[in-house]
Amino acid sequence: MASTSHAYPLFGGTTDLPDVVTDDLASDHPLRNAVLALGNFDGFHLGHQALAGMAHRLAAGRPVAVMSCEPHPRSFFCKENAPFRLATPATKRWQLGQYGVDFIYSPLFDHAFAGLSPIEFVDRILVDALGVRGVIAGPDFRFGNRRAGDMSLLSELGAARGFSVSIAPDITHAGVRVSSTLIRAAIQAGDLHGASRLLGHGWLVETRQTPNGGLKLHHDLCKPRAGRYVGFVDGPDGRGERRCIDITSAGEFLPLGPQAVRATPTMWRLEAQVVRKRPDVRQVPFRPADNAQKPIR
């Protein structure tokens, strides 16, 4: 049902991109009566992929949509935060298209939206604006002003208003719950291999061209630890080129090798850090800060 195609040869060929909807729907809009997945979907990791699969099974041929506000609520409430995103909206749209999502409902997250009570969120957004047939979210999903609503309340309100509510179980890896927070910590520690295992794919990032002709990580994305990385970039012949890239602490990309990288915006798939051993440096593997798990393997 998604109508726009875009070619990313590096990431699996031509993908049908989901339509992005920002306003209330007309009574005959195909998104009405859809199954809606709720969440931020930052990075579209293994947990998000499982949730999307459940949404398709619940939809049974009906449209599947996700709700993903812009700006990100964390950016709205904490404007001074360092860049933290795992994916830009454009990358997220492509990833959702890979999983057959038909629509992205992307309302403006502002003071009015943030101030909706849980009941107002359900009545104004899910019922009146979208007319959902069912919704699905993870067990920790919260909604409404001050995150006052939980999945128990959503199930109660859904039953009273005629739409189904399903709870997707957490996905774990090596006994640890897969989350954007854990992936972000791995990336910032330079553990791209571990992050890729939790994402289910290499970390997809965008770069922009700087005034002096260099490349720099998109300003919204979290910065990996400075170092040398292995990645792939779209080549001029439409095939992915394997490259080594030095990434600075400022997020500058310094591709190595004789081939020139095409003008940006460019998409990369980063997969691992190259460990360059020096006598005075001991390489310390990433360990999640909130538990005693071993490095991600």
pLDDT tens-place string over residues 23-79: 888 888 999 999 999 999 999 999 999 999 999 999 999 999 999 999 888 888 887
CB 25 within 8 A of CB 131: yes
Question: In what side-by-side order are the strands of the sheet with 164-167?
Answer: 19-21, 103-105, 64-67, 35-38, 134-137, 164-167
State the pLDDT at residue 261: 54
Domains of the chain: 4-172 (3.40.50.620), 179-274 (2.40.30)
Cβ-based neighbours of 2, under 8 Å, separated by 6 or more: 16, 17, 18, 19, 97, 100, 101, 102, 103
pLDDT digit string, tens, across residues 145-187: 999 999 999 999 999 999 999 999 999 998 999 999 999 999 9
Residue 67: which of 115, 2, 5, 125 has the closest Cα?
A: 125
Tokens (6 digits) for 178: 């897969």
pLDDT, tens only, 1-21: 444 444 343 344 446 899 999
How much is the pLDDT for 5? 42
Q: Which residue has the higher pLDDT, 262 or 8?
A: 262
Q: Say which range, 29-33, 157-161, 210-214, 215-219, has the weakest mean pLDDT.
A: 210-214
Query: CB-based contacts of 68: which residues, under 8 Å, 6+ apart?
Result: 39, 40, 41, 89, 92, 104, 105, 106
- pTM for this structure? 0.83
pLDDT of residue 80: 64
Q: What angle do CA 159, 48, 287 make, to 5 degrees?
A: 125
Q: Is the pLDDT of residue 218 over 70?
A: yes
Please tell me the distance from the alpha carbon of residue 32 to that of residue 29, in angstroms, as a whole number: 6
Residue 276 has pLDDT above 80, yes or no: no
What is the chain's percent helix, strand, coil content, to nearest 5? 25, 25, 45
| 186: CB partners within 8 A, 6+ apart | 192, 194, 195, 198, 286, 296
214 versus 32: which is more confidently predicted?
Answer: 32
Q: What is the pLDDT of residues 63-107, one digit of tens each?
A: 999 999 998 888 888 876 789 999 999 999 999 998 999 999 999
- Report strand pairing: 19-21 vs 103-105: parallel
Residue 255: both structure tokens together: 């591709």
For residue 70, the cross-strand partners are 108
- Give the number of residues written for the chain: 297
Segment 125-139, tens digit of pLDDT: 999 999 999 999 999
The pLDDT, as a whole number, for residue 288 is 38
Per-residue pLDDT tens over the stretch 238-261: 456 788 889 999 999 887 765 555
Work out the percent of the chain whose per-residue pLDDT is above 70. Answer: 81
The predicted structure's pLDDT at residue 239: 56
What residue type is 168 in one-letter code?
A
Q: Is the dihedral of CA 66, 171, 58, 146 positive or negative?
A: negative
In this prediction, residue 283 carries a pLDDT of 34
